[in-house]
Structures are given as C-alpha cells and as structure tokens.
Amino acid sequence: MTKGKPYDDIPGTIIFDSDQAARGYALNQFCISLRLQANRDAYAADPEGYIDKFSMSAEQREAALGQQWNRLLELGGNIYYTSKLAAFHGINFQELAGLMTGKGSVAYREMMISGGRPIEGNRYQSEWEED
C-alpha cells in the first residue's frame, strides 16, 4: 500500500481505495458470487473446493473460511462484498457491525439506538491511542 494517504489517520477504518481493490479483487469476486443461490449451495456443499476456484492468497482464503471480518477488510475486502459472505452465514449487516466493532450485536444495537458512536474522540488515530 502506498504510504502517506490522507485517510491513514482515521481510526478503525479501512478505505477501499484502488490499492485495496487490486489486492482484494479475487476475494471480493468470491464473496459476491454468493449473491446467487446456486453458488451458495456449491459453497455449502464443499467450502474448500468452491473457494479454490478463486485465486486469492492463502491469508485471504484463511480469513474467508475462518470468518475473520476485520481481517478480510484489511486484506482488500470491501464491506458490501464481505457482507454477502456474512449473509451466507446467517449474519445480517447490523450483527456484522457488532462483530467488527468487538461490541457484539446486543451492545452494538443499543449504541445505535442511543444515537450511534459519537464523532468526539473518533476522528484521529491518536485519539484512540490515548486510551
């Protein structure tokens, strides 16, 4: 990844830019293939056999099979794609967010109902490092 991007200092955020898109192409195409029922059936029947049709790296493959949601984003996945893999596992968007934040879905839902994650203290990486 090119160094010194203006958004590098936003905490807890992976910007899906062209470097990430290039890195995650096969991974994202795998995820989006699960939009279709026939492919979901094939993946359910033989996960390793199905995933090997996509030329992704060993770590991407492991993160996909292991449902490591943040790792998938770090390795070039985009949330609109990885959410299709989550849906395959019966995880909806809000539950997925609960998992990625480490809060769990109940606490996350509560946070959203009480107004969401505030912007104060969440603009810069440095604000997270102070904790």
Partner 1 sequence: MARITSGVACSHVPALGVASDSGIDSDAYYAPIFKGFEFSRQWIAEEKPDLIFLVYNDHCTAFDASVIPTFALGCAAEYHPADEGWGPRPVPVVRGHQALSAHIAQSLVLDSFDITIMNEMEVDHGLTVPLTMMFGKPDQWPCPVVPLAVNVVQYPAPLGSRCFALGKAIRKAIESFPDDLKVCVFGTGGMSHQLQHQRAGLINSEWDARFMDLLVNDPNTGSQIEHIEYLREAGSEGIELVMWYVMRGALNETVEEVHRFYHVPASNTAVGHLILENR
CA dihedral 51, 95, 120, 16 (to 10 degrees): 20
CB of 27 to partner 1, least distance (A): 9
CA distances from 68 to 63, 65, 98, 107, 125 (A): 5, 8, 13, 20, 22
**125: which residues sit within 8 A by CB, 6+ positions away?**
8, 9, 10, 11
Subset of 1-60 contacting partner 1 (CB under 8 A): 6-7, 10-18, 21, 24-25, 28-29, 32, 34-36
Instruction: Candidates 1, 3, 116, 126: give the one binding partner 1 (CB under 8 A).
Output: 116
Q: Is 101 in the site for partner 1 (CB under 8 A)?
A: yes
Contact between 106 and partner 1 per CB under 8 A? no
**Which of 38, 45, 58, 115 lies at the binding interface for partner 1 (CB under 8 A)?**
115
Binding mask 72-91 for partner 1 (x = CB under 8 A): -x----xxxx-xx--xx---
Rule CB under 8 A: choose which of 42, 57, 59, 100 binds partner 1: 100
φ/ψ region of 26 (left if φ > 0, alpha if ψ in -120 to 50, else beta) reads: alpha
**Sequence-separated (6 or more) residues with CB below 8 Å from residue 67:** 85, 86, 89
Question: Which residues in this chain contact partner 1 in the complex, by CB under 8 A?
Answer: 6-7, 10-18, 21, 24-25, 28-29, 32, 34-36, 70, 73, 78-81, 83-84, 87-88, 93-94, 97, 100-102, 108, 111-113, 115-119, 122-123
